[in-house]
Structure 1
Amino acid sequence: MLRLLRNLVLVAALVLGVTFGFFNFQLVTVDLLFSDARVPLVVVLILDFALGFAIALLLLLGRMMGLRRELARTQRGLKDARTEIRNLRSMPIHDA
């Protein structure tokens, strides 16, 4: 059942993408500073989407690396605290 639902979503996304491309196929002029290019609007939209996705992915990866470092530091601190607690529990209690 899950496979059927996944396939239906994929087919719907494909149909939506083809429809989107069909209705946005008019030529637009893109100024590249040193020259002009006439390309279909759908190509410009797809490239913009891909560029935005790549930038977001790089930002996400940077954030994830920082969180992994923080997690490793916290786990080391937890290990040290557990070792200290184990050592304190094994020490005899002295009355003052």
Structure 2
Amino acid sequence: MFRALSFLALAALVILGLVFAVLNAQTVELDYFLGKAEVPLALTLVLTLAGGALLGMLFSFGLVVRLKREILRLRRKAQLAEQEVANLRAIPIKDDR
């Protein structure tokens, strides 16, 4: 079921992308440091979106790594606490009466 929905979502995204490209078929002139280029507007927008997404992932990578290390540290700490509780429950209670 999940695969079918994923496939349908991907197919819809591809169709929307194609419609977007057809509707934005005009060319734009890009001026960059080494020269100029005439490229389709749709390609310019898609490459800009992809570049922004890539930069966002790159900048958030350090945060993700730090949070994963914190999760690992907390899991180890919780496991030690659970083990200590289990050890304390196993110790018999001494009655001095």
What is residue 41 of structure 1 aligned with on the other side?
41
Change (3 A) 1:7 1:88: closer
Specify the code of the residue in structure 2 equivalent to 1:42: A
What is residue 65 of structure 1 aligned with on the other side?
65
> What TM-score comes out, normalization by structure 1 length?
0.72
What is residue 26 of structure 2 aligned with on the other side?
26
Which shows bigger deviation, 80-89 or 14-23? 80-89
Aligned CA-pair RMSD: 2.7
> What TM-score comes out, normalization by structure 2 length?
0.71
* 3-state SS of paired residue (2:25): coil
Residue 77 of structure 1: how far off its partner (Å): 0.8
Residue 94 of structure 1: how far off its partner (Å): 7.0
Change (3 A) 1:73 1:19: same
Unaligned runs of 5+ in 1: none
Residue 92 of structure 1: how far off its partner (Å): 4.6
Specify the code of the residue in structure 2 equivalent to 1:73: R
What is residue 13 of structure 1 aligned with on the other side?
13
| 1:58-83 CA distance string (max 9 Å, x none) | 34443332222111101111122123
Unaligned runs of 5+ in 2: none
How many corresponding residue pairs? Answer: 94
Q: How many angstroms apart in 2 are the aligned matches of 1:29 and 1:20?
A: 19
**% same residue:** 35
Q: How many angstroms apart in 2 are the aligned matches of 1:75 and 1:10?
A: 36
Specify the code of the residue in structure 2 equivalent to 1:46: V
